[in-house]
Every structure is written in C-alpha cells, then in structure tokens.
Chain A
C-alpha cells in the first residue's frame, strides 16, 4: 500500500500519525493487504436478496415511547455545559 493511500485513509478515519508511525503503518498495511488480495482470485458477487432473514412488518418494534435516560446519566462521561455535550465551536 502506498504512503499516499495510508495518509488518505487516516484522514477518513480521523487518525493522525507521526512520520515514523506512518512508515510503520505503510509496512503493516502492505503486509495485511497481501492477505486480503487473496480474494482477487475468486469471482463472487454479493446478492443482498440472499441475506433475507424473513423479517416482516409485524416483527418490527411497536411505536410506543418509553422514558428516556436522565440527563445527568447521559452526560456522566462527558465534558458538559448547560445540559449539553461540548465541542469546540463548529463553523460551517
């Protein structure tokens, strides 16, 4: 796998690497992709209709609202303010 590809993937994945780590990541990913490439030998395509678990409307959850989680419990693992999760200001 090329360095550029690893850089691109790390951007997609929101991960950052030092140059040294990046070099190792390229090595590791190249070796891993070698295994993955074994599937290039075989010609198969995925058929979503085969993955049918026979779920019908009546199997789905009934539309009944239940009590939510208390806000303090929701926020117990987070930096919070005014009963909200806090992030650096997002500018669109």
Chain B
C-alpha cells in the first residue's frame, strides 16, 4: 500500500514561553540565557522548604494567549502537580494544569497553498494551560556526565493543545507559524524558535482512507523548528505506513526527532513505570477571574494580524504585499511607526518589502536591532518620492543608514546626492549649453528633435545634484521652443 493510502491525523501540543520579567513561581529573571545557574533561587531550584508564588502577569498573558487563539477562559483555574523524575526538573514535579486549565476550547484559522492552490481550514484548540519550563542539560561525553543548568526552570510557558485536526505536515507547520504570529501580536511571547521559546510535541497516527477511527498514535517530543515539525511528520508518516503495510501495529510511545538524521526514535525504556499522579498543588490557591478582569485583558490586546491585513488592504496595498508585512510583527510595527512620519502607505510598503526585507533576508540587517528608525526610513522614502534624491541614491543612502545609522538628509548632503532645485542655476546652465552647442541647437530648431537627448545630457552633467531631471527637462524644452519661434 502506498503512503498516499493513509490519512495522517495530527495533533500538536505547542509550548511557548511567556515574556514576563520574572519566572512564574519565583522572582528570578525569566530572560533567556545568562551564565549557568545564575538565574536561580531556592524556589526554582527546588530547595527543601520553598514554595511557589504565582506571577500575576503570567496568568494575564496566558489569558491573552487564549483570547488571541479564540479560546474561552475558565473563571476558576486550578494548578496541579505533574510528578516525574528527571534531572532537569529539580522538584520532581512540574506545576501545570490538568482539569481546570486557564483557557478552554478555541479556534485558529489557517491558510496555506497546496499544489499552487489556496486552502484554508480551521484548527480547533482543545485548551491552553499555564505551566513552568524545565532546566537544561548539557552532556559531557568525556566525563560521562550531564550537567544541569536551572536558569530556565520556572520560566512561564503556555501549552496549547490542539485537537487532532491536521492532515498534512504543511498544515501542522502553518498552524505553528500562525499561532506563533498570534502570540507575538498579543505581546505575550516572542516565539523565537532558535531560543527554544516555542516548541511542539507532535501526536500523529495514520488511518486508512475511508476509515473513521483513528489509529494508534506516537508522540514526538520537543520538536523545535518549523522545518523539524514538517520533517518529523513526513518521517513518521513513512515509518508508520511501513509498519501498517507489513501488518504490524503502531506502539503508543514517546519518540524523539533527530534533526541530523531526519529520523524519530523511541525515547523511554519500557521497564520504567509511568504515572504522572497529577493532583491539585496544595501550595497554590486557585485563581478566580472576574468578568471585569477578563474584559480589561481582552481590551488590552493590540491589533491582531487579521485586522492589520484588512487595514492595509484598505490603504490600497495589494493583499499579497499586505500579508508580507503583517506576517512579521517586527516589520509590521516598523511600518506602523513609519506611517506616523510619512503617511504614504503604498510608498512605504514598496520600500520596506523591496529594499529593507531584501537586506534583512540577505542577513545584512538584524531586524530586531536596526541602526535606522522608522522615522528616518519614512523621511528617506519621502525624499525619494519628492525627488529630493534619486531612486537609486535612496537605496545607496539606505545602505549607509543600515550600516552606520544616520539621518538620510545628512547622508545625502554629505555624499552630494541631495537635489536642490535652483531655477536660476538651471537657466544659466541651459544658456551656457545652448551657447556652446550651436550645431546641435541648430539641428533641433531645424526639426531634428532627436538631439534633445544630447542637450539634456549636457545640462544634467553640469547640474548634477542641483535640479531634478524633470525640472531640467521642462526648462530646456521651454528654452528650445522659444528658439524655434
């Protein structure tokens, strides 16, 4: 049987770190990185006698994440302990939520292309809960030990649990991308895959076409890039199809994706007893949410991608271009700021999607810490539009802004790119050119208008930076016409 005879059934558990200042149950900094074990205290390192004290903003961010993903909110939320032993979990339990999670069911629409065809679908969210992250292990092969760094222990996470609604690797990839964008817009997570601030567990099973019952699933833990999510699913579809083709059975188990080999493999030894023994954490009082709290949090949500896209299309920006801008919150925010200086959306979008994104994609610019401000770029685009600099020079000026920073007008001046229209000078130069090119002028007057280009060139050369081509052309035409009369 071919792989295409099976329908993959995919559900995701997406973990995303929340952008709080402090950790979820203690006051250590929740920032990414830091020297090993320098962002730890008795609480997050699980010292005897310590107690978790829940961070208000973490709860608020989880609620906002819920709203961003169209979820209902539980007005009475209970934290539970999930008990298991692992060296990255110093308390030997993770504080999580089982029965009364903070966010209830929701829906996330996704759009993608398949064989050049536009598709859209709605993926259901089962719930979202707030929990704590675990630490990091570094393996020292030489000494045969693993080193535990607890800096990440206790960083707040939301776990977004989807229904098994996806049917292809692409749908799964696009969902994660879409959710990451929504969380970024909601301002609750930066969703940096490379820093592990968003990761997914992938649940996947296969069923034969025509079947209605799902097959046995495997869970692939901790897949940490969009590409890996796609490849994991691709690999699992093949692996499970092969087993089913042989008449074998899929083992319900936890697997790990090896990005180097592009394979998944079984993770935990079978002899180990597994039971998380969830129970309500007696150290944390249940949290009640009032309608007014929820209304306030919902009102605090900024403009979301869908609203922004619609707004941009309303500006007259083509849908495709609008979506490019919106698909990156940093860029979209930049655009919004630039508009405050120069209210010409079309022109700004052209410059951003053309010049700025090109250089970002080339790796020339760190978009999160550019040397230029939105106002400076807006000014540059405006200068180009009003022909204070030429289109080509505008690109050159931007290159310098990106490399060294600086005001576009100052750069243009310093590099002699600024066009100052001095009509007196223009007329003076035209008179000189006409005087010293009698032959050509004669030809023009005689009806050979082709020589206009030559004369124009002579004027432009002498007027570089002092006038726009448009002005030179107008004045020259006027002068020559007067000679014809």
| A residues adjacent to B (C-beta < 8 A) | 8, 11-12, 14, 48-49, 51-58, 60-66, 68-69, 71, 74-75, 81-90, 92
Q: What's the least CB distance linking A64 to chain B, in Å?
A: 6
Cα–Cα distance between A49 and B288 once the two chains are bound (Å): 10
**18 residue pairs bridging A and B, Cβ less than 8 Å apart:** A11-B273, A48-B286, A51-B280, A55-B285, A56-B289, A57-B287, A57-B289, A60-B287, A65-B27, A66-B28, A68-B38, A83-B36, A84-B37, A85-B147, A85-B148, A87-B87, A88-B145, A92-B268
Chain A's closest residue to B54 (CB) is A60
B290 within 8 A of A: yes
Q: Are B145 and A87 in contact (CB under 8 A)?
A: yes
Bound-state Cα–Cα, A68 to B41, Å: 5
Chain B nearest CB from A21 CB (Å) reads 19
User: What sequence of 0s and 1s flags, for each residue 126-146 of chain B, a beta carbon within 8 Å of any chain A beta carbon?
Assistant: 000000000001111101111
Q: Assess A89 versus B55: contact at CB under 8 Å? Given A55-B288, A74-B45.
A: no
> Is B42 among interface residues, defined by CB-CB distance under 8 A?
yes
Q: Is the CB of B267 within 8 A of A48?
A: no
Minimum CB–CB distance for B73 against chain A, Å: 12
- From B27, B86, B141, A89 is in contact (CB under 8 Å) with B141
B145 near A86 (CB under 8 angstroms)?
A: yes
User: Given contacts A12-B273, A54-B288, A55-B288, are A60 and B27 in contact (CB under 8 A)?
Assistant: no
Cβ–Cβ contact A48 & B37, under 8 A = no
Write the chain A residue with the least CB distance to B45: A74
Known: A65-B29, A74-B40, A89-B141. Contact between A48 and B22, CB under 8 A?
Answer: no
A82, chain B: closest CB distance, angstroms: 6
List chain A residues, Cβ under 8 A from B138.
Answer: 84
| Complex interface: chain B residues within 8 A of A11 (CB) | 272-273
Whether B477 is near chain A, meaning CB under 8 Å from some CB there, is no
Q: Are B275 and A12 in contact (CB under 8 A)?
A: yes
CB pair A12–B277 under 8 Å, yes or no, is: yes
Partner-A contacts on B (CB < 8 A): 20-22, 27-30, 35-42, 45, 53-60, 76, 78, 85-87, 99-100, 137-141, 143-150, 256, 267-268, 272-273, 275, 277, 280, 285-290, 293
A14 to B367, CA, bound (A): 49
Is A90's CB under 8 angstroms from B87's CB? yes
**How far apart are the CA atoms of A49 and B78 in the complex, in Å?**
10
Q: Which residues of B contact A62 (CB under 8 A)?
A: 56-57
CA distance A51 to B285 in the complex (A): 9
Q: Is the interface of B mostly helix, strand, loop or mixed?
A: loop
Docked-complex contact A52 and B76, CB < 8 angstroms: yes
Complex Cα distance, B87 from A38, in Å, reads 38
Q: Which residues of A contact B54 (CB under 8 A)?
A: 60-61
Q: What is the bound-complex CA distance between A90 and B135, given in angstroms?
A: 14
- Contact with A81, one of B20, B21, B145, B150 (Cβ below 8 angstroms): B145
Chain A's closest residue to B42 (CB) is A69
The 9 closest A-B pairs by CB, nearest first: A84-B147, A63-B57, A60-B56, A66-B27, A85-B148, A11-B273, A65-B22, A65-B29, A55-B285
A56 to B76, CA, bound (A): 10
Closest Cβ–Cβ distance, residue B258 to chain A (whole Å): 10
Q: Are A55 and B286 in contact (CB under 8 A)?
A: yes
Residues in chain A near residue B38, CB distance under 8 A = 68, 71, 83
CA distance A27 to B78 in the complex (A): 37
> What residues on B are CB-neighbors of A8 within 8 Å?
273
Chain B proximity of A35: nearest CB distance (Å):
20
How long is the Cα–Cα vector from A8 to B78 in the complex, in angstroms? 29
Q: Specify which of B27, B60, B87, B268 lies most central, judged by the most chain A CB atoms within 10 Å of its CB.
A: B27
In the complex, what residues of A have CB within 8 A of residue B76's CB? 48-49, 52
CA distance A88 to B144 in the complex (A): 6
Nearest chain A CB to B413 CB, angstrom units: 45
Closest chain A residue to B22, Cβ basis: A65
Report if A74-B146 is in contact (Cβ < 8 Å); known contacts: A62-B56, A65-B27, A65-B29.
no
Nearest Cβ in chain A — how far from B475, in angstroms?
Answer: 65
CB-CB under 8 A for A63 and B139, given A84-B149, A87-B145: no
Contact in complex: B21, A56 (CB < 8 Å): no
Q: Given contacts A48-B99, A90-B137, A92-B267, is CB(A56)–CB(B288) below 8 Å?
A: yes
Looking at the complex, which one of A51, A54, A85 makes contact with B87 (CB distance below 8 Å)? A85
Q: Is the pair B59, A60 in contact by a Cβ cutoff of 8 Å?
A: yes
Contact B139 A48 (CB under 8 A): no
A63 touches B100 (CB 8 A): no
CA–CA, A69 and B29, complex, Å? 11
Residues of A within 8 Å of B150, CB to CB, are 74, 85
Q: Which residues of B contact A90 (CB under 8 A)?
A: 86-87, 137, 139, 146
A75 to B281, CA, bound (A): 27
